[in-house]
Structure 1
C-alpha cells in the first residue's frame, strides 16, 4: 500500500484544528513553555530557513507533551515596523491590510508543515487590544525612576516625596546620592522647573541626542537595523544627526543585565555578545583643565578604562552631543562643528573619510608639564556613554592611529613587550603595576580622579519617525509631556492618506485629527488646538522592539481585557523554559526584553527576574546565490573570469531562474527583460558566454536564493520536509540545502510505512517479540531520550534509520515493537504517526498517549559506532560491543554484506582500524 502523504497530511491537519488538539489551559501538570522568537510577517512568506527553528521547537514541544508536561507553544506576529510602512509608501495600501494578508499566508504555511502552535493564543503587536498594554507600560516607565540605593525602579511620586522632604537637596540621578541642586525648595519651583528636573530621573524621557538617521527611509534606526553604515532595509546610507527623541533609561539596569546572564542557560558566545553590548569597564574618571575655559567651565571629564595608557594620549575626542560641543570651539569653527553631526556612520577605511574638527582648545596633561593635548569633535569614535568623550592613543590603537595620521598628530608607543618606558616612576613596570601606580597618584596625590565603573550601553532611543507603530500616549501642555489617562487607552492610530515622512518627521503630522482635548479626554481636530484645553499629541511612534519586548508574557493570558496578565497565570507559567531563534537577536532584542521584564518585576506586576531560562540559537540554512560583477563607475558588467585588479566591482545578485545551472551562465536576454534598468549596459563575455559568481550563503530575498517550503511539501510531503531539515546537521550549526539528498529521507519514510503493510494491506502481528527485537527497541528508546535532552535531532533521525533497517532485515511487524516506534517518531513525523496510530486501532490522537520508556534489562551492551569508509568516503556505519577485539571487528567487516557489495567490482587492498574512531577500507 503506497504512502499517500497528500491525503493523509490534509486529513490530520483538519482533525487537529477541529478538535483543538493544541489549545492549552493551566492545570495541575508540570508546565513547559516553548517559544520561537517573534516572526515578522513579510509578503514573501516563509522560506525553509525560517522553518528550521519552528520545526525544531515543534518536535521538542510534541516530545515534552508525550512526557506528560503541560506545554505552551504559542505563536503570533511582530506586525508593526518598517517593511510594512515602506510597502504602504510605495503602494498607498494601508499597512494593516498588508500585514493581515501576510499573517494569513504565514498561518497557512505553518499549518501545512504540521506545527503544533496554540493558535487560540495568537497575537499581533499591531492589534489595539495588544498595544493598549504596550502604551500602558510606556506610561508606567515614564512615571518611574531608578533608585540606585536599592537597584530598583520605583514610582516617580516617591521621588517627589523625597524632594519635598529634603528642601533644596535633591538626589543625583546617576548615583542616588543627595546633592545640592537648586537654591529654591521643591515647592517653590515652577511646574516647568520641576518637570525639567524630573526628566533627569524618569526612565522614559525626552532629550536631544545623536541618532542614526536614514534620510531615504525618513526615520531613526536602531544599531541592529544598520550594517556597514547602511540600513538593512533597502541598503540606504545612514548618518549621525542630533534630534529631540524619546529615550528609555536602559543604562540604569546595566549591572543587573550583566549579573542576570548567570541565570540563563545559553551559549557562551551569546553571553559574550551581551557583555560586549553592555560593555562594563572599571577604571578612573579624571578631570583635566582646559587652556581656554568656557562659560566658567574649565575642565573636561574623561574616563580611562586603561589608566596605564595616559602617557600615550595624543588627542581627546568629544562627541557632537557633548554639553560643551556647541561652545568649545572658537567662533569660526562653529559651522564646521555643526556639520560633523551629520557625518556618515560607516567605518572609515581611508583617511579622507575620517570626520573631525579641531576645536582650537586644549587640555593640560596631568603628568607632563606644558604638554597640551588638542580637543577634537568627531563621530569617528565610540565615546564613553557617561562623559561623551574618549582619548586617542595612536601608538596602540589602529583607529586612533588613522585619526592621528589624518590630522598630523604624534604617534608613539608607551610599551615594549608589556613594559612601561615613558616616565621615571613607571619605567620597568608591567601594565598591571603601572595601572595601579597611576591610579594611586591621580586619586590620592593629585586628587583629580576617582575610581569608577562605567558601561558602554546607551539609553535606547524610543522615537521613530514612522506611521506604522504604536502611538506614544503623550500630549504636550506648554511643551511639558503629559500622559494620556490610562482609562482612555488605547490611543489609536489615525487614518491618513500619505505615509511618507515629511521633512524628517513622522507622517502623523499630516493627521487632521491628532490633538488631545484634556477636558473631554478625547482626540479632536488639530484646528481646535488652543494650548489651554486642547494640546498637540506626540507624532513619533514607538520602535518595533516595544511590542516584542513583552509578548512572551501576553501569551500566558492573551484574552485578558482587564490587565496585561493575571497573577495566577503568571505564577503558573512564570517564564519561558526554551527560547529558540537566530543569533541575530542576541543583542538588541534580548537586551530590551530582559530590561522590560526586570522593570515589570520591579513594579511587582510579575515575579521573575529573567524572562528566559534557556536560549537555543539555531543555525542557518544556506543556499547557493548567483551574482554578476559590475564595474563601479561604468555601465559595464564583466563575466566572472575576466575580473582583474585594475577595476573595482559591485556584486549584483541575479534571480536563479536566469542562470543555466550546469555552467553558471547568465541568460543576458532574460536578465535585461527582468531588470529594465540594465538594458543599456555593456556585457563583456568570455568567448560567447557570460559567467556568474556562485556563493553559498544565508537565504535572503535580496539574494534571490530562498526556497519555498510549500513547493517541497507539495512534492514530497510535510513529514519528509520536517525530517530532512532536521537531518541536515546539528540545529545550532549552519548547513547547506541540497535537494538531491532529500530522496534518502523519502526512502526511509516509505520503508517505515512498509513495516506495517504486506501486499498493499495493513498488517501487524500480535506475536510476542523476540529478545533481539526488544533489545533493538529499548536501546532506541534510551538513545532518543538522551538525544532529545541535548536537542540532537539529526542523530535521533540517524538512530531511527538504523532501527528501521534492522527491523526490516528481521521482517519484524509485531505490534509490541511497532506501536512504541510510532510514538517515538510522532514528534518528527506527526502526520504519518497519526495515520498509523489510527490504523493500529487507537481511537484518540497519538498526542494523548505517553512516550514509551525503556526497560534496562533489554538494553544492549555498551557499543561503539564505527563509520565505515571506503578510500576515505563514508558508505555506512556499524555498531560493535565496546569489548570486541580488533580481530573480530576485522572479520565482521570483511564479511559484511555491504562491504561485499561496495567491493564487488574493486580489488581489496588494506583495512585500517583506528580503535573507537573509524574503519577505512582501501581498494583499487
Structure 2
C-alpha cells in the first residue's frame, strides 16, 4: 500500500492543474454560470495568515462544488496592492513601493497556489499596475462627466501619523482605521464623490440583499442614517438676516428653543465673534476642537463645553431673540453644523442648559400633568404628551404636531419637511504616492481640466522623495508640470492620489474582462457573470468596502455598463481565527504560518482543519491537537481508499439483499444529502465534514463478506464528496481508482430519497427497564401495532410468563419497555 505523502502529492497535482489551466473559466455558453469570489488580500510583507486560509478555503469549496454540480465557474484572485503600508515600508527601507509590493504579490500568489486553490490565474489583477489603474482613472473621469466628482475646501479628517486625509468611514472611535493614531481636523481642498446622491437607493437596495447577514445590512442602514424631520430656518439680524438652517427630528419642540449652538468650525462663527468680548477665547477654543476627534467631543460621558458668541438668532415662529453659542458636542460634519437647544425635551441640551444657566422652556406635558409647575422640571421629558406654550398648536398631541408644525414652517417660508442622512460624500483625496493618480490638471487659462481618456494612464513617476512628512508626488518636477490638454500651456497636475477603497470598489468587474485595453470591462462580459453569486470576507468591511462597491455598481448601472445595480448577491462573513483566545498577530507572538502547517501536514490538512474546527461564521480557536487529528483522519481515508481501490475499479453491481448492505447504502445517501445541503447551500462545512467522517467509520465497520457493490460505491462517493475540501488527496486517489480525468471535472454525487427511507428498524425490548431482547419490525408500524407485535413474540411471552403487565411504553423506531409485576 502506498504511503500518504502530502509533500509529494500536492506539488505534483498543483503543477498538473497549472499546466492544464484546469480552473480557467469556460467561455462556453452550455452551462449556467457561478461567480465565486473571496475578498482579495493586501500584499503586506507578512504574507498569508490562517485567517486568509479560512477565507480562501470557504470560497474554494464553493467554487469546486459548483463546478462538480454542472456550473461553469469564475473563481479569480488578485491583490489590493496600493496603500499606506507599502509606502511606509518604502520610507523605512529606502525602496520604491512598487518593488516592495510586486515582490509581496508574487510571494502571496505562491502561497495561495500551495493551498491548492482553484483560481483562474489568467485573470489575476493587481490594482497597482498601470494596466489596472488606467481604468480606475477612467472611472473617475466617468464620475466627473456625470457630475459625481467635485473638489471643495473644508475641514477634513487628518491622520498625523499617516500624513493623509481619511474619509469619515475610516475614522473609528476617533482613531485612524489603519494605525490607531488620533485623528484631527484640517482645512484642505479635496476631491469628493457624490455618494449622497445615491443615499436613498443605497438604503432601499438593502431590502433586496436577502442573502446578506442581517448584522451587515443593519450596519449599512445605520451608516447611511436616514432621518425624517424638518428643516428650520433661523436668521441672524446682525449679519443682514443671514439664514442658518437647522435639521431636527423634533419640530414639535420648536417653541421650546431657548438657544442655538453652532459647531466651532461653522463658517459664520468668525463673523459672529468679531469684536465681541469672547473673540480671543473662542478662537482658542476653535483651535482646540480642530485637534480633537469626534469621540472626544460627542461621547455620552464627555463634558459639554460651550461659549456664548454674544450674537443672537431670530426664532422663526415667535420672532424672539435667542443666544447663539458654540459648543464641543456639535460637529460640522453632521447635519448643518447647527442645532437648536431644547433643554426641556432633550437630555444633552438639558445638561448643557443646566451647566450654563440657560432657560429651560417646557412645551410638552406628560399625560398626567396639566400645567408646568415652578421648579419641578428636573430632567428632560422626551416621551409623548400634549403641547403647551406652543401658540396655535397648544393642546395638540406632540406626535401629531411634528407634521403640523413642519407644514406650517413651509407655509411661512421658514423651512419644511425634509430628510437628513448621516452619510457624507466620499472624500477620496490622499496625500500619498502609492495610490492611483487623479487624472486632473489645473491650468491658469482653462481652470480644472480632466485628462482625456485616450491619454490614460497618468503613471506614477520615479523621481520622488519619501520623507514621511510631505506628499511625495509634490516633490516630482517631472510629474507636477505638464501641458494643459485643452490649450497646451503649462499646467499643474493634481498631486493627490485616490483612496485605495476606489481600487477595491470595482475589481470584481475587471475580473470578468481582465485583458480589455479599451474599457474597464466589456458590458457583455460583465453582464454574463455579474452579480457575484458568493462573496466571502471579513465583517470589518461591512461599511467601507461593501458600501463603496454598491455605490460604484449603481453608477455603472446608470451609465448602462451593467444590468445589475447590486454587486454581490450572497455575502458570507467569516469569523476570526484566534490562538489562545486572542486574534492572531505578530505583536502577540501567536501567529501560525500556513506554510509551516503545509510543510508539516500538507495543504489538505490545513484546509480541512479550518473548515471543520468551528462553524464558518464563528470564531476559530487554533488547536495544534486538532490539526494533528485531521491529519490522522486523512491518513485513515487514504488507507480506506487504497484498500478498496481494486474493488472500485471493478465496479461490481450492488444487490442490496441484506440489512447490512441496505444500512451502508442508506448511510451513503444520507451523507450525500447532508453534504450537498450543508456545504453547497448553508455554509455549514463543519457538519458536512462530520457527516463524511461518519460515513468513513461506516465503511470501516462494514463486514468483509458484505455486498461488494455497495461498498465500492460508498468508497468512491466518499472521495468525490471530499474533493472540494481536500483537492490533492482526492485527485491522487481518483487516479488510483483508474480514472484518467480530474476528479474536479467529475459529477457531484446524487442521492435517492427512497434510499433514505427505512424499511425495517431494530427495536430494543426492555423488561422493567432492562434490555432483554431485540426485534426487527417494519418501520411503518404505529405504536399500537408495535406493542401488539412485540407482545406476540415467543421470546417476549417466555420473559413475562406468570407476570402481570402493568404498563407498556413504546418509542417508535427505538424501544418497547414492558413494566411487569
* Both structures adopt the same fold (TM-score exceeding 0.5): yes
1:772, CA displacement in angstroms? 2.4
1:298, CA displacement in angstroms? 3.3
Partner of 1:256: 201
Q: Does residue 235 in structure 1 map to residue 180 in structure 2?
A: yes
Whether the 8 Å contact between 1:515 and 1:534 is mirrored in structure 2 is no
Whether the 8 Å contact between 1:395 and 1:414 is mirrored in structure 2 is yes
Q: Does residue 618 in structure 1 map to residue 574 in structure 2?
A: yes
Partner of 2:741: 844
Partner of 1:907: none
Partner of 1:496: 463
Partner of 1:485: 452
1:535, CA displacement in angstroms? 1.0
Partner of 2:160: 215
Partners of 2:594 and 2:740 lie apart in 1 by 31
Whether the 8 Å contact between 1:779 and 1:860 is mirrored in structure 2 is no
CA pair 488-387 structure 1, distance change in 2 beyond 3 A? same
**Residue pairs, 1:842-881, within 5 angstroms:** 842-861=739-758
Partner of 2:555: 599
1:7, CA displacement in angstroms? 1.3
Partner of 2:697: 805
Deviation digits for residues 837-863 of structure 1 (CA, Å, limit 9, x no counterpart): 000001111111111111222114599
Q: Does residue 439 in structure 1 map to residue 406 in structure 2?
A: yes
CA pair 107-474 structure 1, distance change in 2 beyond 3 A? same
Partners of 1:810 and 1:363 lie apart in 2 by 89
Partner of 2:6: 5
Partner of 1:374: 324
CA pair 507-315 structure 1, distance change in 2 beyond 3 A? farther
CA pair 427-703 structure 1, distance change in 2 beyond 3 A? farther
Larger helix share, 1 or 2: 2
Partner of 2:89: 87
CA pair 746-515 structure 1, distance change in 2 beyond 3 A? closer
Partners of 1:281 and 1:352 lie apart in 2 by 25
Partners of 1:574 and 1:240 lie apart in 2 by 40
Partners of 2:780 and 2:688 lie apart in 1 by 21
1:109, CA displacement in angstroms? 1.5
Whether the 8 Å contact between 1:38 and 1:78 is mirrored in structure 2 is yes
Partner of 1:660: none
Whether the 8 Å contact between 1:242 and 1:341 is mirrored in structure 2 is no
Whether the 8 Å contact between 2:157 and 2:166 is mirrored in structure 1 is yes
Partner of 1:279: 225
5+ residue gaps, structure 2, are 361-376, 655-660, 762-777, 787-809, 814-821
Partner of 2:293: 345
Deviation digits for residues 323-351 of structure 1 (CA, Å, limit 9, x no counterpart): 42442333325733651562311523698
Deviation digits for residues 38-73 of structure 1 (CA, Å, limit 9, x no counterpart): 321111111111222211010000000001111111
Deviation digits for residues 249-291 of structure 1 (CA, Å, limit 9, x no counterpart): 111111111122233221121111111111111111111233x
Whether the 8 Å contact between 2:260 and 2:322 is mirrored in structure 1 is no
Partner of 1:463: 429
CA pair 18-570 structure 1, distance change in 2 beyond 3 A? same
- Report the 3-state secondary structure (helix = DSSP H, G, I; strand = E; otherwise coil) of the residue aligned with 1:139: helix
Partners of 2:720 and 2:343 lie apart in 1 by 65
Partners of 2:302 and 2:685 lie apart in 1 by 52
Whether the 8 Å contact between 2:463 and 2:478 is mirrored in structure 1 is no
Partner of 1:476: 442
Partner of 2:151: 206
Partner of 2:215: 269
Whether the 8 Å contact between 1:414 and 1:421 is mirrored in structure 2 is no
1:354, CA displacement in angstroms? 5.6
Partner of 1:47: 49
Partner of 1:194: none
Whether the 8 Å contact between 2:34 and 2:74 is mirrored in structure 1 is yes
Partner of 1:389: 338
Partner of 2:527: 571
Partners of 1:742 and 1:104 lie apart in 2 by 28
**Residue pairs, 1:510-521, within 5 angstroms:** 510-518=475-483
Partner of 1:714: 599
Partners of 1:460 and 1:338 lie apart in 2 by 25
Whether the 8 Å contact between 2:554 and 2:565 is mirrored in structure 1 is yes
Partners of 1:535 and 1:313 lie apart in 2 by 52
Partners of 1:51 and 1:733 lie apart in 2 by 15
Deviation digits for residues 486-544 of structure 1 (CA, Å, limit 9, x no counterpart): 22110011113422354xx51211102124443689xxxxxxxxx97111111111110
- Report the 3-state secondary structure (helix = DSSP H, G, I; strand = E; otherwise coil) of the residue aligned with 1:482: strand
Whether the 8 Å contact between 1:247 and 1:462 is mirrored in structure 2 is yes
Tell me whether 26-35 or 343-352 shows the greater mean CA deviation.
343-352
Deviation digits for residues 610-669 of structure 1 (CA, Å, limit 9, x no counterpart): 111111111112223xxxxxxxxxxxxxxxxxxxxxxxxxxxxxxxxxxxxxxxxxxxxx
**Residue pairs, 1:122-161, within 5 angstroms:** 122-145=124-147
CA pair 768-484 structure 1, distance change in 2 beyond 3 A? same
Partners of 1:792 and 1:777 lie apart in 2 by 19
CA pair 427-133 structure 1, distance change in 2 beyond 3 A? same
1:563, CA displacement in angstroms? 1.6
Partners of 2:402 and 2:760 lie apart in 1 by 57
CA pair 453-223 structure 1, distance change in 2 beyond 3 A? closer
1:829, CA displacement in angstroms? 1.0
1:561, CA displacement in angstroms? 0.9
Partners of 1:382 and 1:883 lie apart in 2 by 73
Deviation digits for residues 853-874 of structure 1 (CA, Å, limit 9, x no counterpart): 112221145999xxxxxxxxxx
Q: What is the TM-score with the length of structure 2 in the denominator?
A: 0.83
5+ residue gaps, structure 1, are 146-202, 522-530, 625-695, 865-879, 889-912, 917-924
Q: What is the TM-score with the length of structure 1 in the denominator?
A: 0.74
Q: How big is the alpha-carbon RMSD for the aligned residues of Structure 1 and Structure 2?
A: 3.3
Partners of 1:282 and 1:760 lie apart in 2 by 69
Whether the 8 Å contact between 1:351 and 1:406 is mirrored in structure 2 is no
Whether the 8 Å contact between 1:312 and 1:414 is mirrored in structure 2 is no
1:363, CA displacement in angstroms? 2.4
Whether the 8 Å contact between 2:648 and 2:716 is mirrored in structure 1 is no
CA pair 852-322 structure 1, distance change in 2 beyond 3 A? same
Which entry has the higher C-alpha Rg, 1 or 2?
A: 2
1:545, CA displacement in angstroms? 1.0
Whether the 8 Å contact between 2:24 and 2:120 is mirrored in structure 1 is yes
Deviation digits for residues 758-786 of structure 1 (CA, Å, limit 9, x no counterpart): 49999876443433222121121111122
Whether the 8 Å contact between 1:34 and 1:73 is mirrored in structure 2 is yes
- Report the 3-state secondary structure (helix = DSSP H, G, I; strand = E; otherwise coil) of the residue aligned with 2:497: coil
CA pair 862-319 structure 1, distance change in 2 beyond 3 A? farther
